[in-house]
């Protein structure tokens, strides 16, 4: 049965699945409600896909990919640029959906939704830039000038995009837009807690004229749909953003296909002598608590030189005290709930455990249902779980060190390596930090909490492999053939 996406009033939205750009009910007719993490009210309803829907979506994608790869790049770009315009026109509405289902303050949700147009346009451009190389074959002994060789970059075919809940628009667009721009069919599996944003964005691509077969969105349980999608040999590329545990599972069952894994983190910020304490404390007070700390590049760990620790904390605490926790839709709220009560309880317990092991809680850390008040914990040993494990909550763990080398060791002292920041220090220390910290992005003069949509973005170590950022994503969603013309 075919269903229209229900157009959205601000309060409650209802969607079917998208299979090959058509709105449909799940094969078994199953639906589920989407609830607000703030007050539990129903904010929408979606279909629940089964493995049968995965098969139908992959069939549709096979047909769609064959048409889309033969569509000239300039025609694809026209359609994507139209999708960018539509997403921009609907940005306020999409922001309301993001805030309702994810719980982030409306102001943050607007910021996220308003980046949509730019991400799609940057991707559309990169999709027109699939250059290759000409090969100097005659430099190879035994080969003459009777041959010519070059590389040809082409779409992989079908991309499976699996996304987490914390940036329901941004992280969907960082996969779907480059995949479409470079001529692939995409099957998107958004997070179960935040499917509505993904579907609203898919609506923009469909309304812009993305042809039949090319885009599918399957909402439903990650394990079931994920296993069926990632093991299907017709899927040529998996682009996954989510936890390290799920990333490891995908890597173990995917078989022979391209993978990019954007995984967990415990990102450090070094504060060294000479740091602008006002600037550093303001950046930490923002980067540690935005989206209730549910950000892969959140400032989870601050590693501060002993000589400036007191000054730094004196500057940080009043800024943390200004964070206003409350209803995400209310003006002035800067901290919303965590995504579920289970997550809030996990964060509360991690802080409690650190304190029971000797760390000091200077402020916050109290839980009320899905909320945890913004916390600052000092005296944290890098070996403690609060530093080692990804927290994904509104708390900053402060570790004190006596010199630069101990700071670098502490920064590198977890399994993760997504991003890091450094304030202060000498030029030589900055250059050393840039080379010695094992992280995918290093920010000199800022915290890890910063991203431009066009920059290569991705982690090292347990934070994954592969890069996003529109140019890198286009590169990873295409493959290179070598063509030799024999005279
Ligand atoms: P998650 O791993 O629980 O879920 C991510 C997605 O995977 C969801 O769509 C989920 O339904 C799906 N999934 C679950 N089990 C699966 C399986 N067996 N096979 C395939 N898919 C499956 O993550 P989350 O809780 O939604 O998001 C938080 C995590 O995402 C954190 O660890 C965070 O660091 C990470 N993250 C990383 C980045 C990055 O760029 N490195 C960005 C954002 C979030």
Atom of ligand 1 at shortest distance to CA of 164?
26
**Count of other CB atoms within 10 angstroms of residue 113:** 27
pLDDT at res. 118: 98
pLDDT at res. 8: 38
2 vs 331, residue with greater confidence: 331
Residue 41 has pLDDT above 80, yes or no: yes
Let me know if 140 is exposed, middle or buried by CB neighbors in 10 A (0-12, 13-18, 19+). exposed
Atom of ligand 1 at shortest distance to CA of 296?
34
> How much is the average pLDDT of 451-455?
97
Assess whether 262 carries a catalytic annotation. yes
List 296, 390, 429, 468, catalytic entry: 296
Record: fold of 268-452: Aldehyde Dehydrogenase; Chain A, domain 2 (3.40.309)
Quick one: DSSP state of residue 298?
-
* Residue 15 alpha carbon to ligand 1 centre in Å: 22
What's the pLDDT band for 11 if we cut at 50, 70, 90?
low
Whether residue 466 has its Cβ less than 6 Å from ligand 1: no
* Residue 46 alpha carbon to ligand 1 centre in Å: 19
Atom of ligand 1 at shortest distance to CA of 457?
40
* Residue 243 alpha carbon to ligand 1 centre in Å: 4
DSSP string, 185-236: EEEEE--TT-HHHHHHHHHHHHHHTPPTTSEEE--S-HHHHHHHHHH-TT--
* Residue 189 alpha carbon to ligand 1 centre in Å: 11
Quick one: DSSP state of residue 9?
P
List 25, 88, 203, 262, catalytic entry: 262
Residue 6 has pLDDT above 60, yes or no: no
Quick one: DSSP state of residue 137?
G
DSSP string, 100-122: HHH---HHHHHHHHTTHHHHHHH
* Residue 462 alpha carbon to ligand 1 centre in Å: 14
Whether residue 250 has its Cβ less than 6 Å from ligand 1: yes
Whether residue 288 has its Cβ less than 6 Å from ligand 1: no
> How much is the average pLDDT of 408-434?
98
Whether residue 340 has its Cβ less than 6 Å from ligand 1: no
Residue nearest to atom 32 of ligand 1 (CA): 243
Residue 174 has pLDDT above 50, yes or no: yes
Give the rounded percent of residues in the chain with a pLDDT score beyond 70.
Answer: 98
Whether residue 164 has its Cβ less than 6 Å from ligand 1: yes
pLDDT tens digits for range 59-76: 999 999 999 999 999 999
Mean pLDDT, the chain, whole residue set:
96
Task: Give 160's Cβ-side CA count (13 Å radius).
Answer: 29
User: Strand 31-35 vs strand 42-47: parallel, antiparallel, or unpaired?
Assistant: antiparallel
Whether residue 226 has its Cβ less than 6 Å from ligand 1: yes
Atom of ligand 1 at shortest distance to CA of 192?
11
Whether residue 367 has its Cβ less than 6 Å from ligand 1: no
What's the pLDDT band for 89 if we cut at 50, 70, 90?
very high
Quick one: DSSP state of residue 293?
G
Q: What is the C-alpha separation between 296 and 286, in angstroms, rounded?
A: 14
Which residues have C-beta within 8 Å of that of residue 386, sequence separation ≥ 6? 350, 351, 353, 354, 359, 377, 380, 395, 397
> How much is the average pLDDT of 300-313?
98
Residue 7 has pLDDT above 50, yes or no: no
Evaluate whether 12 touches 42 at the Cβ level (below 8 Å). Answer: yes
Whether residue 187 has its Cβ less than 6 Å from ligand 1: no
**Count of other CB atoms within 10 angstroms of residue 32:** 16
Distance of CA 267 to the CA centre of its chain: 15
Whether residue 128 has its Cβ less than 6 Å from ligand 1: no
H helices then E strands: how many in the chain?
16, 25
Residue 5 has pLDDT above 60, yes or no: no
Residue nearest to atom 12 of ligand 1 (CA): 222
Q: What is the C-alpha separation between 285 and 428, in angstroms, rounded?
A: 27
Please tell me the pTM assigned to this model. Answer: 0.97
> How much is the average pLDDT of 271-291?
98
pLDDT at res. 12: 76
Looking at the DSSP bridge assignments, the partners of residue 422 are: 270, 446
Residue 425 has pLDDT above 50, yes or no: yes
pLDDT tens digits for range 109-141: 999 999 999 999 999 999 999 999 999 999 999
Atom of ligand 1 at shortest distance to CA of 165?
26
* Residue 164 alpha carbon to ligand 1 centre in Å: 4
What's the pLDDT band for 180 if we cut at 50, 70, 90?
very high
What's the pLDDT band for 470 if we cut at 50, 70, 90?
very high
Whether residue 343 has its Cβ less than 6 Å from ligand 1: no
Which residues have C-beta within 8 Å of that of residue 186, sequence separation ≥ 6? 61, 158, 159, 160, 161, 175, 176, 179, 180, 214, 215, 216
pLDDT tens digits for range 90-111: 999 999 999 999 999 999 999 9
Residue 2 has pLDDT above 80, yes or no: no
For the CA atoms of 181, 458, 335, 86, the dihedral, rounded to the nearest 10 degrees, stands at 0
Whether residue 165 has its Cβ less than 6 Å from ligand 1: yes
CATH code at 13-263+463-484? 3.40.605.10
Helix, strand, or coil here: 443? strand
Angle, CA of 131, 137 and 143, to the nearest 5°? 160
Whether residue 342 has its Cβ less than 6 Å from ligand 1: no
pLDDT at res. 395: 98
The residue extents of the domains of the chain are: 13-263+463-484, 268-452
Assess whether 21 carries a catalytic annotation. no
* Ligand 1 pocket mutation pick from 224, 225, 239, 242 by most atoms within 8 angstroms of CB: 242
């Amino acid at each position: 049965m075919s269903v229209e996406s229900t157009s959205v009033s601000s309060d409650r939205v209802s969607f079917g699945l998208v299979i090959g750009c058509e709105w449909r009910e799940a094969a078994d007719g199953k639906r589920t409600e989407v609830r607000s993490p703030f007050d539990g009210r129903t904010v929408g309803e979606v279909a629940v896909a089964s493995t049968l829907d995965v098969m139908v979506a992959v069939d549709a994608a096979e047909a769609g990919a064959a048409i889309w790869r033969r569509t000239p790049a300039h025609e694809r770009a026209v359609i994507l640029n139209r999708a960018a315009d539509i997403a921009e026109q609907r940005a306020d509405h999409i922001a309301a959906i993001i805030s309702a289902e994810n719980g982030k303050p409306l102001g943050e949700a607007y910021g996220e939704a308003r980046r949509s147009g730019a991400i799609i346009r940057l991707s559309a451009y990169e999709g027109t830039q699939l250059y290759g190389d000409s090969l100097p074959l005659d430099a190879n002994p035994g080969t003459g000038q009777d041959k010519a060789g070059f590389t040809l970059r082409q779409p992989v075919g079908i991309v499976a995009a699996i996304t987490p809940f914390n940036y329901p628009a941004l992280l969907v667009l960082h996969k779907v837009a480059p995949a479409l721009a470079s001529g692939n069919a995409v099957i998107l599996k958004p997070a179960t807690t935040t499917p509505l944003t993904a579907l609203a964005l898919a609506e923009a691509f469909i309304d812009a004229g993305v042809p039949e077969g090319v885009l599918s969105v399957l909402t439903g349980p990650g394990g079931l749909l994920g296993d069926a999608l990632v093991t299907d040999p017709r899927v040529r590329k998996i682009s996954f953003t989510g936890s390290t545990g799920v990333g490891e599972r995908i890597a173990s069952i995917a078989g022979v296909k391209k993978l990019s894994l954007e995984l967990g983190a415990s990102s450090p910020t070094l504060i060294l002598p000479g740091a602008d304490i006002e600037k550093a404390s303001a950046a930490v007070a923002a980067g540690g608590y935005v989206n209730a700390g549910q950000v892969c590049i959140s400032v989870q760990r601050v590693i501060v030189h002993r000589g400036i620790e007191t000054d730094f904390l004196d500057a940080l605490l009043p800024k943390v005290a200004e964070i206003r926790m409350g209803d995400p839709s209310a003006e002035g709220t800067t901290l919303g709930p965590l995504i579920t009560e289970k997550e809030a309880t996990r964060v509360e317990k991690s802080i409690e455990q650190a304190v029971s092991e000797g760390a000091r809680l200077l402020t916050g850390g109290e839980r009320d249902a899905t909320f945890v008040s913004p916390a600052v914990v000092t005296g944290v040993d890098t070996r403690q779980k609060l530093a080692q494990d990804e927290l994904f909550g509104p708390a900053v763990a402060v570790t004190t060190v006596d010199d630069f080398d101990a700071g670098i060791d502490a920064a590198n002292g977890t399994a993760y390596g997504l991003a890091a920041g450094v304030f202060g220090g000498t030029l030589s220390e900055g250059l050393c930090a840039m080379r010695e910290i094992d992280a995918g992005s290093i920010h000199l003069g800022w915290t890890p909490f910063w991203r431009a949509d066009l920059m290569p973005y991705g982690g090292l170590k347990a934070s994954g492999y592969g890069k996003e950022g529109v140019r890198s994503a286009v590169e990873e969603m295409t493959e290179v053939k070598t063509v030799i013309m024999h005279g």
